[in-house]
Amino acid sequence: MAEAVLTPAYLDAQLAPLLDAPHWYVGFSGGIDSTVLLHLLRDWRRVHPGAPPLTAIHVNHALQVAADDWQVHCQWFCRMLEVPLVCARATVERGSGGLEAAAREARYKVFEQQLAPGAVLFLGHHLDDQVETFFLRLLRGAGLQGLAAMPASRSLEPGELARPLLDVPRAQLEQYARDHGLAAVEDPSNEDTNLDRNFLRHQVLPLLESRWPAYRRTVNRASGHIASAAATLAQALPAPDTVRSAMGDPGIPLVALCSPLWDEASLTLRHWLQAACLPAPDRVALEEFLRQLREATQRSRPRLECSAFTLQRYGDAVYLLPDPAPGQAEAVSLQPGVPRELPGAGRLELQPVATDGLLLAPGEQLEVSWRRGGERCRPRGRARSTGLKKLLQEANVPPWWRERVPLLHLDGELLAVGDLWLCESSRWAATAQPGYALWQPQWQRNISTAFD
């Protein structure tokens, strides 16, 4: 049975619920799928003048010799369509999941940085992509959530991701491009059958098609059944409410993961991660992590490291850790009223206050450094000074934060420990004095916002 002709009207039902978004974006690689999608959206907006403004985003991974040429092609194509284009260069750091996964992670970071709150990002994934993803996950032993493959839409902080072409086969997109004279770039790595997806695409799936011509629709239907089963199971076994560490890290209560039934504990954690659009961990690593949690003593801290995140137990919960901190940095200066980015720790600034602050004269700056051992502070209201190590333990500051807490000094005197404590010092005062202003530190930690 021949496929229906693809026209902008095909998108009507999918785009109508998204008309209230402040902005639409398209992830535009210059390949056939994103080229067709961008052209369809451009034409759809022509007959729907009330639609949100449309912008294309091209991510240059700089992994191919022709990467800059592809960017030039995207700029030319967007000028022809009269669609604004944002070009961004991604930093790809190869991890344990391989180059393809690292590039995907870098690309999505760029997308998240570009999206305005409530905006929609459209991606050109199609039916063949969906089927390939299903088989790749099946061969890796994925569970229900993995075999449900790619959803047509999901949240993507700070907006939403939509895939309006998931039911359209690649051949139909290619026909659309020919009919409209659309030129697209071709990544030569797509022919490399050493890559799993390409091996499936060029060697395995054509063989399936020779026997079962309608296999794409059949596999997609089966994946939909699995998605329905996964959703039903998620309702029957919902994720517990997120808890927070003393520093704000999101976490899941330990008791929720200590079920003697491994599958129940595994599904609970997977559902919790899914709520934040985080990928499920490898089954073997997850099974070992849950075993350690069940058998751990009160003081032990099992840890699960994945390519996209790290989980660690502390106290009565398992927390999602912030991005890794770099090695201990040199001290830096902090000027009142001027925010300072601290790699691995967040953003620190001194804000003016009317009472109870640090006395600083115009032009004075504080020195920001980190723990090296032996530091002491007498927090306001305490009778005596205490070792910083003990203070942090008493405040239940998780271990992964204790080396990241910024220490504020002036002329060698410790004035404040982040925004946790102001120390008794020669510069603390309840009210301002002539020639001085009062300031207090404000520390915005780089905790995950996935569960906000």
> Which string of DSSP letters, residue by residue, matches 132-187?
HHHHHHHHTT--HHHHT---SEEEETTEEEE-TTTTS-HHHHHHHHHHHT------
Q: Are residues 44 and 179 in the same domain?
A: yes
Q: Is pLDDT at 187 greater than 60 in this prediction? A: yes
Q: Are residues 186 and 213 in the same domain?
A: yes
Lowest mean per-residue pLDDT among 153-162, 195-204, 260-269, 414-423: 260-269
Question: With left for phi above 0 and alpha for psi between -120 and 50, is residue 315 left, alpha or beta?
Answer: left
Q: Are residues 297 and 395 in the same domain?
A: no
Q: Are residues 23 and 122 in the same domain?
A: yes
Q: What are phi and psi of 93, to 5 degrees?
A: -110, 110
Q: Is pLDDT at 18 greater than 90 in this prediction? A: yes
Mean pLDDT, residues 206-217 taken together: 93
Report pLDDT for 284. Answer: 85
Mean pLDDT, residues 357-383 taken together: 92
Report pLDDT for 329. Answer: 67
In a domain, 1, yes or no: no
Mean pLDDT, residues 214-223 taken together: 92
In a domain, 105, yes or no: yes
Q: Are residues 191 and 77 in the same domain?
A: yes
Question: With left for phi above 0 and alpha for psi between -120 and 50, is residue 73 left, alpha or beta?
Answer: alpha
Report pLDDT for 233. Answer: 76
Q: Is pLDDT at 311 greater than 80 in this prediction? A: yes
Q: Are residues 390 and 313 in the same domain?
A: no
Domain that holds residue 42: 8-233
Q: Last residue of some domain: 267, 297, 320? A: 320
Q: Are residues 228 and 272 in the same domain?
A: no
Q: Per-residue confidence at 426, pLDDT binned at 50, 70, 90?
A: very high
In a domain, 452, yes or no: no
Q: Is pLDDT at 131 greater than 50 in this prediction? A: yes
Classify strands 85-89 and 54-60 as parallel, antiparallel or unpaired.
parallel
93-126, pLDDT tens digit by residue? 765 556 677 778 788 888 888 898 999 999 999 9
In a domain, 358, yes or no: yes
pTM exceeds cut of 0.85 = no
Number of domains within the chain: 3
For 226-244, the DSSP string reads HHHHHHHHHHHSPPPPPEE
Residue 12 burial by CB count (10 A; 0-12/13-18/19+): exposed, middle or buried?
Answer: exposed
Q: Are residues 81 and 202 in the same domain?
A: yes
Q: Are residues 183 and 302 in the same domain?
A: no
Instruction: Quote the CA–CA distance of 422 and 441 in Å, as a whole number.
Output: 9
Q: Are residues 189 and 291 in the same domain?
A: no
Q: Last residue of some domain: 320, 350, 366? A: 320
Q: Per-residue confidence at 1, pLDDT binned at 50, 70, 90?
A: very low
Q: Last residue of some domain: 320, 345, 378? A: 320
